[in-house]
């Protein structure tokens, strides 16, 4: 399986009432208590279904004009593009334009002008903006963002609900919680001096480059650095502009100052050249393909001498998720988990399997479901399930095969009932997956439950959805304040 749905499948729906009501209790000035946003079911006759149907009807046949937003102002350039609905190419869901190099540089300057004031704003105030945005997404703006994700990115209602509602809400709420807890994480002080840690934003601007497939990722790539006091240039995916712009507007309505995040649709290579070429570039928050991330990393290295700091590079790329099935596994659980992690077909890879002399299509191969043999090394980035059948006595060889065959290290799963086998797999596959599942499918990571990410060429494994992720977007300053004057330059042993 490829990494397409690694975040998605597996969150369970609940009723509307649980989704509307939130429990948040302030423990003290810098701590909050939050829980994962429940998944709504959209049953016939439910209020959430009615709200979504209205939102979908409002989008029917309409084209939303989406400008670049630079320095708080809407800007249009001559380079006009259209986002098409993936299941109805006749429907132009959005009209937008590309920022040119001059406009990107203007966005950089506008962001830098806002950096100092935003960084000095107390984290409690910054957190409140994201908590308010989460409440808006949870309640009155939920249907709008879901509808725009469905129409613009071709997701089903539950796919959109898991992504654009639950995961994005969780990112905003838990990031706020983690930021406040980080502020409370202070070093030890002694009688004669007080020690403290100041969690500053990075000096410069962060470029956020978001993908087409997850609305939540875009909101988090731009939102997490901003929460920590950074200013951001957000380049959304061309094929996710409709939903991304909705999230951006919600953040502004929740109180995010206009210049903190610049909304900059642009040609990918031009944007990359412009941001990595700026002396003020201090970070990249990226989700996308391996070749693009490598290109940006190389550009950063080539421009290293012009930067004032060493830029922070955070990247989430793809994967080749594995389900390792041992003979002791519960077969029904294996089948159900694997089917939940995979979908229908990608024709090009099926045709490749048919033409190959070393591969055999065991069943299907047409437009319906299929099960075929294909132990590939590259990410397909689509719903293709490949199966490798191994002799039971070669189990240990298969462990090595999994660890060494692909260059990825995103997610994987072991299905077995024998504890010895599970522990052996955990040990030998220690570096093969950033998210490892035992007797469960290799997809469906939930914010704060399974912080997500992989290493090797799957990315930098910074674990969005967990508390450590926010540290990537801070430049801590240790402060020592001494309360007792020093009366002698000599140490005691020198007396």
Q: For residue 18, is pLDDT > 50? A: no
Residues in the chain, how many?
495
How many other β-carbons are positioned within 10 Å of the β-carbon of residue 40?
A: 27
The better pLDDT of the pair 340, 147 is held by: 147
Question: b/e string for 100-111 if b means 16 or more Cβ within 10 A?
Answer: beebbbbbbebb
- Residues in a beta bridge with 475: 200
Q: Domain 20-318 belongs to what topology?
A: Aldehyde Dehydrogenase; Chain A, domain 1 (3.40.605)
**Among the listed residues 392, 357, 390, 385, the one whose alpha carbon sits nearest the alpha carbon of residue 371:** 385
pLDDT of res. 172: 98
User: Which residues have C-beta within 8 Å of that of residue 456, sequence separation ≥ 6?
Assistant: 407, 408, 409, 431
pLDDT of res. 116: 98
The model's confidence at residue 382, banded by pLDDT at 50, 70 and 90, is low
Q: What's the CA gap between 84 and 341, in Å, rounded? A: 27
Average pLDDT, the chain: 89
**Is 214 within 8 Å of 158 (Cβ atoms)?**
no
Helix or strand holding residue 206 (H, E):
strand 205-209
86-139 pLDDT, tens digit each: 999 999 999 999 999 999 999 999 999 999 999 999 999 999 999 999 999 999
Max CA separation in the chain (angstroms): 90
* Segment 425-436 mean pLDDT: 97
Structure token digits, residue 275: 């941001």
Q: For residue 23, is pLDDT > 50? A: no
193-231 pLDDT, tens digit each: 999 999 999 999 999 999 999 999 999 999 999 999 999
277-333 pLDDT, tens digit each: 999 999 999 999 999 999 999 999 999 999 999 999 999 999 988 888 998 888 888
The percent of residues in the chain predicted with pLDDT above 70, rounded, is 86
**Is 162 within 8 Å of 103 (Cβ atoms)?**
no
Q: What's the CA gap between 189 and 192, in Å, rounded? A: 8
- Residues in a beta bridge with 479: 196
**Is 187 within 8 Å of 266 (Cβ atoms)?**
no
User: Which residues have C-beta within 8 Å of that of residue 21, sequence separation ≥ 6?
Assistant: none
* Segment 140-149 mean pLDDT: 98
The model's confidence at residue 179, banded by pLDDT at 50, 70 and 90, is very high
pLDDT of res. 495: 84
**Is 109 within 8 Å of 204 (Cβ atoms)?**
no
Q: For residue 440, is pLDDT > 80? A: yes
DSSP 406: S
* Segment 162-166 mean pLDDT: 98
Q: For residue 168, is pLDDT > 70? A: yes
pLDDT of res. 343: 79
**Is 137 within 8 Å of 169 (Cβ atoms)?**
yes
DSSP, collapsed to helix, strand or coil, labels residue 21 as: coil
pLDDT of res. 136: 98
pLDDT of res. 335: 80
Q: What's the CA gap between 122 and 116, in Å, rounded? A: 12
- Pick left, alpha or beta for residue 81 (phi over 0 → left; psi -120 to 50 → alpha; otherwise beta): beta
343-365 pLDDT, tens digit each: 744 566 667 777 777 767 665 55
Which sequence spans correspond to the domains of the chain? 20-318
């Amino acid at each position: 399986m490829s990494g397409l749905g690694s975040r998605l499948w597996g969150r369970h729906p609940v009723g509307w009432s649980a989704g509307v009501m939130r429990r948040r209790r302030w423990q003290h000035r810098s701590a909050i208590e939050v829980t994962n946003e429940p998944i709504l079911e959209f049953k016939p006759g439910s209020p959430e279904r009615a709200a979504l149907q209205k939102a979908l009807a409002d989008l029917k046949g309409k084209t939303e004009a989406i400008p670049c937003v630079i320095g708080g102002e809407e800007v249009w350039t001559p380079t006009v593009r259209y986002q098409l609905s993936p299941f109805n190419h006749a429907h132009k869901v959005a009209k937008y334009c590309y920022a040119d190099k001059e406009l990107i540089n203007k966005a950089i300057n506008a962001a830098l002008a806002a950096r100092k004031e935003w960084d000095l704003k107390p984290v409690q105030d910054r957190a409140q903006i994201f908590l308010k945005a989460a409440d808006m997404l949870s309640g009155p703006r939920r249907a709008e963002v879901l509808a725009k994700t469905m129409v613009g990115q071709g997701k089903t209602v539950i796919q959109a609900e898991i992504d654009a509602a639950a995961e994005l809400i969780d990112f905003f709420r838990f990031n706020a919680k983690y930021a406040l807890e980080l502020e409370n994480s202070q070093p030890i002080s002694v009688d004669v001096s007080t020690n403290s840690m100041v969690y500053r934003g990075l000096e410069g601007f962060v470029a956020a480059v978001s993908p087409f497939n997850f609305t939540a990722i875009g909101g988090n790539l731009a939102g997490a650095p901003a929460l920590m006091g950074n200013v951001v240039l957000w380049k959304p995916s061309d094929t996710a502009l409709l939903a991304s712009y909705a999230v951006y507007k919600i953040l502004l309505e929740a109180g995010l100052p206009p210049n903190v995040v610049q909304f900059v649709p642009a040609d990918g290579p031009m944007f990359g050249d412009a941001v990595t070429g700026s002396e003020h570039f201090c970070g990249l928050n990226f989700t996308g393909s391996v070749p693009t991330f490598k290109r940006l990393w190389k550009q950063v290295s080539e421009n290293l001498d012009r930067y004032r700091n060493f830029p922070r590079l955070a990247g989430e790329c793809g994967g080749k998720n594995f389900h390792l099935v041992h003979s002791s596994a519960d077969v029904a659980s294996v089948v159900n988990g694997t089917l939940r992690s995979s979908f229908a077909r990608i024709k090009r890879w099926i045709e490749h399997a048919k033409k190959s002399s070393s591969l055999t299509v065991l069943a299907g191969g047409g437009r319906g479901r299929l099960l075929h043999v294909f132990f590939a090394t590259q990410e397909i980035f689509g719903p293709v399930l490949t199966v490798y059948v191994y002799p039971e006595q070669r189990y240990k060889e298969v462990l090595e095969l999994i660890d060494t065959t692909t260059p990825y290290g995103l997610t994987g799963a072991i299905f077995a009932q024998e504890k010895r086998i599970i522990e052996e797999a955990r040990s030998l596959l220690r570096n093969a997956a950033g998210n490892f599942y035992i007797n469960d499918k290799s997809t469906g990571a939930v914010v704060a439950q399974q912080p997500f990410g992989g290493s090797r060429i799957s990315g930098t494994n910074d674990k969005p959805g967990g508390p450590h992720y926010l540290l990537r977007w801070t430049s801590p300053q240790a402060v020592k304040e001494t309360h007792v004057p020093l009366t002698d330059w000599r140490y005691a042993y020198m007396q």
